[in-house]
A and B are shown apart, each in its own frame.
Chain A
Amino acid sequence: MSKSFPAERIRNFSIIAHIDHGKSTLADRFLEITGAVDTRNKQAQQLDSMDIERERGITIKAAAVSLTTHVNGVEYLLNLIDTPGHVDFAYEVEKSLQACEGALLLIDAAQGIQAQTVANAMLAMEQDMTIIPVFNKVDLPHARPEEFAGELENTLLLEPELALHCSAKTGEGVEAIIEALVARVEAPQGDPHAPLQALIFDAKYDEYRGIVVCVRIINGTLHKGDTAHMIGVGADYEAVDIGKFMPKMVTHDSLSVGEVGYFISNIKNLEDVRVGDTMTISKGERAEALKGYREPQPMVWCGVFPVSSGDFEDLRAALKQLKLNDSSIIFEPESSEALGFGFRCGFLGLLHMEIVQERLERESDLSVVQTAPSVPYQIVLKDGSVKDIHAPGMLPDPNLFEEIQEPIVTTHILIPVESIGAIMSLCAERRGTFLRQEHLSANRVMLTWDLPLAEIIYDFYDKLKSGTKGYGTMNLESPRFESANLVKLRILVAGNDADALSTICHADNAQRRGRAVLKVLRKEIPRHQFEIALQAAVGGKILARENIRALSKNVTAKCYGGDITRKRKLLAKQKEGKKRMKSIGNVEVPQKAFLSVLTTDE
């Protein structure tokens, strides 16, 4: 089994790139080039390309891959550490970056730098990492690397002449990137004889092997068979198998300073491992925890209900299964008067919610109904204590609390100059606070606004895209809670509170929101034999009203001896339909009415 690699010849790096800017292609090219020096592997590629395909699949899934390469006749170990592709907030990539000393800032030479890339690059610079800017797709006819190099200087203070040019597609310039990594990125610093201190930067559930924990050794050495101690979780696990991703998992006897690899210990539940936690040794002198660990907080919540009430347990099982792979999903049983039993689910953000939704549909084959997303609130009670709530029903009586705080996010929005007006007014409409405007180049500008997260999760991204002809990108910093003039919007049906339809919203938006809800209800509630008043109110103040006119008549014109059985069955059929209705006072409200309100983004 391989020995530890000397730290001075290790380079740990990430690729920071916007989606579709060529990260995967470049990673594939690295694999090929570093594998190409090994003649035996070359043969293998030719013999069995299917295996290679599978390995590529692994590289996409793996959080890290270790490559060996020779530069000027010296062998180096390059550890490419993947950053999560879809993130809602910048801090989600922090753990991956912490495991590296350098990062390639990969920019599409035809499109320029994007908001999230800027944010991630800034994050990397805050950690004193070496940034190597690389313009990809320079073979494209409309590539403008020189122009965008100017943006680099304006946004990140990176010297334009340091930028490399490549085409990950053709392989042009890729060798030079490897040489730059070796030359510019610092070798990991650390003491192999100090107590073990390793960063857990990722963890994946593997059906056969349990949890695969991805670690970067900061100090000390991890040996196979050691009993490791997770400082944050406070649990001990034996190193049943350790090794590196080459890109297949290859067992090693030990991992030492600067090395990146996996740790397997029959851990069955992803909740037992925390990304960002520090691993040390159980017996003897323990290392200190690495700084900066932050428990991921769910910032977007929604209700998930089975369409058929009998599927409740299946839904619970499906969510549990998803949680094995993604411990940041939070779910708790929720009972809705309108939708029955389901779960209130918390996600890191909107993107995370969409990904989980997609997985739930694809992997479980369950029909679910999902309510519109909402954000968590902090309620400052009269006694000064703070209560977290994530459903309108949890809001205490208005007499009991001092104020409601909502999550505010500093948002960086990168747009073409001609869209400034449209996006400024969009942000203003969404209760934003303008912070600053920076010109990246003659054509592009970065706006920074503080925006309530509740406003962002209502189609803000779509509006940004349509307001910038698709060119706008945005990045969200970590949310913080701030006091806001928020109210509970009550919906009354024939004078009775429809609790399932109440929402928390900003006082300025209450009337608009109330009108929209009433409009939906007016359409969905069937006419009754009496007029139905629909009202939206805050406290006792009515903000909007609608009427559903009385049904004039509902009586069968002809009914004789031969019609009785058929008529009875017809009524039974209608009654079956009514089972899905919920009574609010004397009014029968169809489930569809609740759904239309709860799933509407307006």
Chain B
Amino acid sequence: MVKNRKASTSLEAASSPEQEHLLGEGGGALYVHLPYCVKKCRYCDFNSYAYTDQNIDAYLSSVLREAELRAPGLRPQTLFVGGGTPSFIDADRLKSFFDNLNDITGFADSVIEATMEANPESFDDETAQAVFGAGINRLSLGFQSLRNDVLLAYDRVHDVDRSFKAFESARNAGFDNINIDLIYSFPGQDLNDWLSDLESIHELSPEHLSCYELSYEPGTSLTKLRDAGRHQQNSNDFAKQMFDLTRAANSSAGYLPYEVSAFSKQGRQCQHNLTYWNSLPYIGLGAGAASWQTPYRVMNIASPEAYVGALAASESPHQEKTACSPTTILFDALMMGLRLENKGVSFEHLFNLSGLDARQHYATQWSKFIDQSMVVFVEENEGTYVRATALGYLHLDTILGELLPDDVVLTV
């Protein structure tokens, strides 16, 4: 990173070249963050908050205000509404929020994909119909597990029956593109349990599956429990078995892996997430939302209250705006692009993003990784792709550790 530049504190004074660049970008991807949940899950490290008595209307208005400032007439190709639990907000409010967002950005006509995340406990027929009617055409349902004891242990508020009902509501409302989120490798879960859970999901036949290995993020209550010796994390070897089983079971059921944790039926890959993994630009609205407008990474103020306060005072909701150096852009693009299974990232694309010849820039590393059968170069679609092999794919973080440029400033 060249420099950690703070954004100007006033939106009125926001006519800097960077700001114009941000405001002027059309198309692309739009992300909206709705941070409230019934309660915080044990493993969660998202910018989410248990709802008590926060003013939801004030928050939604602030997001719309930010949309007016940063994405007027954007006509995005994809929209993703994440959280938190967007479905936690009642149907009427959600409908009117999406209507207003559409008035500002015109997303309903422009998108090829508009996803909203929902949790089973708060997703019923009413909400399903309301958001489908408001232009949301893809749903991401947080099943997480098909075991009630696991759901209870990790502080989820729904049960398995409720998950299936939510899925039915979605189908009934007209959603023909649904993702189901699942977490695996809970301690105590054995391979057979997990396989039978996956088979139940395959029977339900959603279009997309996200299967995440349970991860221990810094600061979560799960990580604290583990570090205090009160929770036994599965061994690395067992996690690998679960990982392999997940891929095998999903593939044979027609869900092809295209990213580390993402599986889809033919033609049903998540277009919005591909934007991230292809390092294409996106604008994030709402508390803690991230934006990528080459070469700037922008991070909004994380606290919803502070975010609302900043917009009410006509101040910038940006907490941090950083101009990335070419080496950082290149690294980030590899970090994301190598996650794409059987694809990787092309040197041409990397050059377009960073202005650097990645082949030459990382010559030593590539030759070592090729020797170790971790990556391969593949000629495809009139380009040369650097792609992780099956082995390299399992060790992406090891590869990235050696690609990381030295100029990354440790500010945390």
B236 at the interface (CB under 8 A from A): yes
Interface string of B281-319 (1 = CB under 8 A from A): 010100011101000010100000000000000000000
Residues in chain B near residue A126, CB distance under 8 A: none
A564 to B320, CA, bound (A): 14
Total A-B residue contacts, Cβ distance less than 8 Å: 109
Residue contact B236 to A527, C-beta cutoff 8 Å: yes
Residue contact B290 to A571, C-beta cutoff 8 Å: no
Residues in chain B near residue A566, CB distance under 8 A: 412
Q: A568-B328, A571-B400, A572-B404 are in contact. Are A558 and B411 (CB under 8 A)?
A: no
A568 to B336, CA, bound (A): 11
B290's contact among A556, A562, A568, A573, by CB below 8 Å, is which?
A562
Residues in chain A near residue B328, CB distance under 8 A: 568
B398's contact among A529, A567, A572, by CB below 8 Å, is which?
A529
B393 at the interface (CB under 8 A from A): yes
B377 at the interface (CB under 8 A from A): no
A586 at the interface (CB under 8 A from B): yes
Taking CB atoms and an 8 Å cut-off, the chain A residues in 545-591 that contact chain B are 551-562, 564-576, 578, 586
Q: A552-B236, A553-B236, A560-B276 are in contact. Are A568 and B397 (CB under 8 A)?
A: no
Interface string of B195-220 (1 = CB under 8 A from A): 00000000000000000110100100
Residues in chain A near residue B412, CB distance under 8 A: 566, 569, 573
Interface string of B391-412 (1 = CB under 8 A from A): 1011111101100100010111
Residues in chain B near residue A471, CB distance under 8 A: none
Interface string of B101-114 (1 = CB under 8 A from A): 00000000000000
Interface string of A22-57 (1 = CB under 8 A from B): 000000000000000000000000000000000000
Residue contact B260 to A557, C-beta cutoff 8 Å: yes
Residue contact B394 to A554, C-beta cutoff 8 Å: yes
Residue contact A561 to B335, C-beta cutoff 8 Å: no
A574 to B399, CA, bound (A): 12
Taking CB atoms and an 8 Å cut-off, the chain B residues in 250-297 that contact chain A are 260-261, 273, 275-276, 282, 284, 288-290, 292, 297
Please choose the segment from B124-132, B160-168, B237-245, B342-350 that sits at the chain A interface, where 4 or more of its residues have CB less than 8 A away: B237-245
Chain A contact-residue range equals: 20 to 34
A530 at the interface (CB under 8 A from B): yes
User: A522 to chain B: closest CB distance in Å?
Assistant: 16
Residue contact B401 to A556, C-beta cutoff 8 Å: no
B299's contact among A555, A560, A565, A569, by CB below 8 Å, is which?
A565
User: A22 to chain B: closest CB distance in Å?
Assistant: 51
A142 to B290, CA, bound (A): 82
A198 to B275, CA, bound (A): 91
Residues in chain A near residue B391, CB distance under 8 A: 529
User: A232 to chain B: closest CB distance in Å?
Assistant: 56
A570 to B288, CA, bound (A): 18
- Closest B residue to A551 by beta carbon equals B236
A378 to B328, CA, bound (A): 55
Interface string of B64-97 (1 = CB under 8 A from A): 0000000000000000000000000000000000
A567 to B338, CA, bound (A): 14
Most chain B beta-carbon contacts within 10 A, residue among A528, A553, A557, A575: A553
B123 at the interface (CB under 8 A from A): no
Interface string of B368-408 (1 = CB under 8 A from A): 10001010000000000000000101111110110010001
A552 to B412, CA, bound (A): 29
Q: A561-B290, A568-B331, A571-B404 are in contact. Are A555 and B236 (CB under 8 A)?
A: no
B404's contact among A528, A562, A575, by CB below 8 Å, is which?
A575
A566 to B45, CA, bound (A): 12
- Closest B residue to A555 by beta carbon equals B396
User: A331 to chain B: closest CB distance in Å?
Assistant: 35
Taking CB atoms and an 8 Å cut-off, the chain A residues in 524-551 that contact chain B are 527-530, 551
A79 to B31, CA, bound (A): 92
- Closest B residue to A572 by beta carbon equals B408
B332 at the interface (CB under 8 A from A): yes
- Closest B residue to A553 by beta carbon equals B394
Residue contact B260 to A555, C-beta cutoff 8 Å: yes
User: B350 to chain A: closest CB distance in Å?
Assistant: 15
Residue contact A558 to B410, C-beta cutoff 8 Å: no
Residues in chain B near residue A570, CB distance under 8 A: 218
Residue contact B396 to A530, C-beta cutoff 8 Å: no
B40 at the interface (CB under 8 A from A): no
- Closest A residue to B291 by beta carbon equals A561
Q: A552-B239, A572-B408, A578-B401 are in contact. Are A562 and B289 (CB under 8 A)?
A: yes
Assuming A559-B276, A562-B31, A568-B328, what are 18 further A-B pairs, CB within 8 angstroms? A529-B372, A529-B374, A529-B391, A529-B395, A551-B395, A551-B398, A553-B236, A554-B398, A558-B212, A558-B215, A558-B260, A560-B276, A561-B275, A561-B276, A569-B410, A570-B218, A571-B401, A586-B372
14 contacts between A and B (CB under 8 A): A527-B236, A529-B391, A553-B240, A556-B397, A559-B335, A559-B336, A560-B276, A561-B292, A562-B47, A562-B290, A564-B297, A564-B332, A565-B297, A572-B404
Interface residues in chain B, defined as those with a beta carbon under 8 Å from any beta carbon in chain A: 31, 47, 212-213, 215, 218, 236-237, 239-240, 243, 260-261, 273, 275-276, 282, 284, 288-290, 292, 297, 299, 322, 328, 331-332, 335-336, 339, 368, 372, 374, 391, 393-398, 400-401, 404, 408, 410-412
Q: Nearest 5 A-B pairs (CB), nearest first? A: A552-B240, A562-B290, A553-B394, A555-B396, A529-B395
Interface residues in chain A, defined as those with a beta carbon under 8 Å from any beta carbon in chain B: 527-530, 551-562, 564-576, 578, 586
